[in-house]
């Protein structure tokens, strides 16, 4: 990627500039440098750049810049700048600082967790000036950024082409395939990342509920649970999140010697991407109930003081006894089936968004680039990839032969687990909403006819009939005569 000067022996300009050297920016820069790229690095607070260079400067060809003008001057043309700052206003500020120094054809990459609506706005504004903008979801956390993340770029194909060789070189790989692919125009990449995070919320909530069931009904301590999760990770549930659950459950607090999970407060925090996923699903009318329950569960967990008070005042049922071995296997099956539902919902949301925004998302490709590098990487993403490769317009993952079978096999255990949780008074919102979705989805005659009757009664909202086309209204108060609306 060296320019012509490089070949003549002068110092070649840097292939890319990283603006923002926080947890992610620093490690992405190191990842690029480790592939032999010269990387210009800039951070608003100078000391962070200095610290990075002091610690990692000898790892590769880093070119420190102490202001934005020098960052741009250090780059080969067209310039590529990866902005890795806090999502929101900071991105607008960074873009505003870069803008006066950029020329037509230069590309700004926003690799943070930006809201896709902001990405659409920023892309439109920069493209109107002949500049390029690539909203890129990056998953994998600190470690993924360094060793190989999953990359979800969205923007114009021309903008992507400028970044493709660098992205492919730094991305995680699975079966020789890079975990990076062009997602679609404007906000497509950040939308895919948002849904990735929404699914992550559901996945984590399901794991937390499994832990709670093993703890409160099965009576298993954290160390025993760590062994269970390790065992689960050998089978269909094999995934990064199950693997690290075993690690977290097995860890002891050096200060007290107690299992660390018992010392950590039961208050979940969030940065908002799960909430966005639910909000956007509501906009599109897609029922992502498992993801949304996961968001709600975090809200409820955060109301700790109220829960502590309510625990004293609100009675629950007497304890329920069950053989732990049977419970462990049932929970494993229920977890897998619920997880299938959560992913089915997330992928359905992606399909709906793609249709609404004209992105042409390839869901098989999305599954492909989530197989490594990202937080929700899991063995069963191979199955999702196969399902969409077999049928690109699959209406739901639940209808793919493999998943149909998995859920059918698991359903008896799944129902036992949810029933047991209800009987024992253990809240399992994600397990139970996933099961309710499954039952609602496979129901060919639901209760919505009464909903329509009620709506027509109080608001003359009309209804449709099973045996005739058109809309109808019943004169409920008068003669009960039905009239075409």
Find the binder of ligand NBP among 93, 156, 169, 411 (CB under 6 A). 93
Residue nearer to ligand NBP on the CB measure, 62 or 414: 62
Edge-to-edge strand ranges of the sheet holding 482-484: 463-464, 471-474, 482-484
Q: How far apart (Å, rounded) are the C-alpha atoms in residues 474 and 453? A: 9
Quickly list DSSP for 381-419: HHHHHHHHHH-TT-S-GGGSHHHHHHHHHHHHHHHHHHH
Q: How far is the CB of 111 from ligand NBP (least distance, A)?
A: 6
The window from 89-97, 281-289, 324-332, 468-476 that contacts ligand NBP (CB under 6 A) reads: 89-97
Residue nearer to ligand NBP on the CB measure, 149 or 184: 149
**Residue 249: partners with Cβ closer than 8 Å, 6 or more residues away:** 211, 222, 223, 225, 226, 229, 259, 261
Q: Does 148 bind ligand NBP (CB under 6 A)?
A: no
Residue 206 parent element (H or E): helix 188-216
**Residues contacting ligand NBP: total by CB under 6 A:** 23
Residue 55 parent element (H or E): helix 46-56
269 is catalytic: no
The window from 87-95, 117-125, 351-359, 401-409 that contacts ligand NBP (CB under 6 A) reads: 87-95
Q: How far is the CB of 140 from ligand NBP (least distance, A)?
A: 7
DSSP letter, residue 428? -
Q: Does 99 bind ligand NBP (CB under 6 A)?
A: no
The window from 86-94, 169-177, 412-420, 421-429 that contacts ligand NBP (CB under 6 A) reads: 86-94
Q: Does 6 bind ligand NBP (CB under 6 A)?
A: no
13, 193, 275, 339: the active-site residue: 193
Residue 411 CB burial class (10 angstroms; 0-12, 13-18, ≥19):
middle
Q: How far is the CB of 276 from ligand NBP (least distance, A)?
A: 12
Q: Does 87 bind ligand NBP (CB under 6 A)?
A: yes
Q: Are 259 and 223 in contact (CB under 8 A)?
A: yes
Find the binder of ligand NBP among 3, 6, 44, 70 (CB under 6 A). 44
Closest residue (Cβ) to ligand NBP?
Answer: 22
- Asked if residue 232 has a cis previous peptide bond (ω within 30° of 0), the answer is no
**Residue 402: partners with Cβ closer than 8 Å, 6 or more residues away:** 383, 386, 387
Q: How far apart (Å, rounded) are the C-alpha atoms in residues 462 and 391? A: 37
Q: Considering only residues 452 through 481, tell me which ones interact with ligand NBP, judged by CB under 6 A.
A: none
DSSP letter, residue 58? G
Longest dimension (CA), the chain: 94
Binding mask 315-354 for ligand NBP (x = CB under 6 A): ----------------------------------------
Structure tokens at 404: 């149909």
Find the binder of ligand NBP among 15, 16, 18, 25 (CB under 6 A). 25
Q: Does 248 bind ligand NBP (CB under 6 A)?
A: no
Q: How far apart (Å, rounded) are the C-alpha atoms in residues 139 and 134? A: 16
Q: Considering only residues 100 through 139, tell me which ones interact with ligand NBP, judged by CB under 6 A.
A: 112-113, 138-139
- Find, among 253, 413, 415, the residue nearest to 332 by Cα: 413
Residue nearer to ligand NBP on the CB measure, 191 or 388: 191
Q: Give the β-pairing of 107-110 and 132-139.
A: parallel
Q: Does 45 bind ligand NBP (CB under 6 A)?
A: yes
Beta bridge partner(s), residue 153:
136
Q: How far apart (Å, rounded) are the C-alpha atoms in residues 74 and 40? A: 7
Q: How far apart (Å, rounded) are the C-alpha atoms in residues 375 and 10? A: 42
The window from 6-14, 21-29, 225-233, 462-470 that contacts ligand NBP (CB under 6 A) reads: 21-29
Q: Does 272 bind ligand NBP (CB under 6 A)?
A: no
The window from 78-86, 335-343, 351-359, 421-429 that contacts ligand NBP (CB under 6 A) reads: 78-86
Q: How far is the CB of 135 from ligand NBP (least distance, A)?
A: 11
Residue nearer to ligand NBP on the CB measure, 45 or 303: 45
Quickly list DSSP for 141-166: HHHHHHH--EEEEEE-HHHHHHHHHH
Q: How far is the CB of 37 from ligand NBP (least distance, A)?
A: 19
Q: Are 173 and 179 in contact (CB under 8 A)?
A: yes
Q: How far is the CB of 197 from ligand NBP (least distance, A)?
A: 9
13, 76, 174, 200: the active-site residue: 200
The window from 42-50, 174-182, 426-434, 460-468 that contacts ligand NBP (CB under 6 A) reads: 42-50
Structure tokens at 397: 């993952």
Rule CB under 6 A: which residues touch ligand NBP?
20-25, 43-45, 48, 84-87, 90, 93-94, 112-113, 138-139, 141-142
Residues annotated as part of the active site: 193, 200
């Amino acid at each position: 990627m060296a320019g012509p000067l490089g070949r003549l022996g002068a110092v070649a300009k840097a292939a890319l500039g990283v603006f923002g050297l926080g947890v992610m920016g620093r490690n992405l820069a190191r990842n690029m440098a480790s592939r032999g790229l010269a990387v210009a690095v800039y951070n608003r607070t100078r000391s962070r750049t200095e610290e990075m260079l002091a610690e990692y400067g000898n790892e590769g060809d880093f070119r420190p810049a102490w202001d934005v003008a020098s960052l741009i001057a250090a780059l080969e043309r067209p310039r590529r700048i990866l902005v890795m700052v806090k999502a929101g206003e900071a991105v607008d500020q960074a873009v505003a600082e870069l803008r006066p120094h950029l020329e037509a054809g230069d590309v700004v990459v926003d690799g943070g967790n930006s809201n896709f609506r902001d990405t659409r706005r920023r892309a439109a504004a920069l493209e109107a000036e002949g500049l390029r903008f690539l909203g890129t979801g990056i998953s994998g956390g600190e470690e993924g950024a360094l060793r190989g993340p999953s990359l979800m770029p969205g923007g114009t194909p021309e903008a992507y082409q400028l970044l493709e060789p660098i992205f492919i070189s730094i991305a995680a790989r699975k079966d020789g395939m890079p975990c990076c692919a062009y997602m679609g125009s404007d906000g497509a990449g950040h939308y895919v990342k948002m849904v990735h995070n929404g699914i992550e919320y559901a996945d984590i909530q399901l794991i937390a509920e499994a832990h709670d069931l093993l703890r409160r009904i099965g009576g298993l301590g954290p160390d025993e649970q760590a062994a269970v999760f390790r065992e689960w990770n050998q089978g269909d549930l094999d995934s990064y999140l199950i693997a690290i659950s075993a690690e977290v459950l097995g860890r002891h607090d050096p200060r007290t010697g107690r299992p660390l999970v018992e010392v950590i407060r039961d208050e979940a925090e969030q940065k908002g991407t799960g909430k966005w996923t639910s909000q956007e699903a509501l906009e599109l009318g897609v029922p992502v109930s498992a993801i949304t329950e996961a968001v709600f569960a975090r809200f409820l967990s955060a109301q700790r003081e109220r829960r502590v008070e309510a625990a004293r005042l609100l009675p629950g049922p007497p304890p329920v006894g069950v053989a732990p071995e049977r419970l462990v296997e049932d929970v494993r099956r229920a977890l897998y089936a619920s997880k299938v539902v959560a992913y089915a919902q997330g992928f359905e949301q992606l399909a709906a968004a793609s249709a609404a925004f004209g992105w042409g998302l390839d869901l098989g490709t999305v599954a492909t680039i989530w197989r490594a590098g990202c937080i929700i990487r899991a063995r069963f993403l191979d199955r999702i990839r196969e399902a969409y490769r077999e049928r690109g317009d699959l209406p739901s993952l639940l209808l793919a032969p493999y998943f149909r079978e998995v859920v059918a096999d698991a359903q008896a255990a799944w129902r036992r687990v949810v029933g047991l949780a209800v009987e024992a008074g253990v809240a399992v919102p994600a397990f139970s909403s996933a099961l309710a979705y499954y039952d609602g989805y496979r129901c060919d005659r639901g209760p919505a006819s009464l909903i329509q009757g009620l709506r027509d009664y109080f608001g003359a909202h009309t209804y449709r009939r099973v045996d005739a086309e058109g809309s109808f209204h019943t004169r409920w108060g008068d003669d009960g005569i039905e009239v075409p609306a």
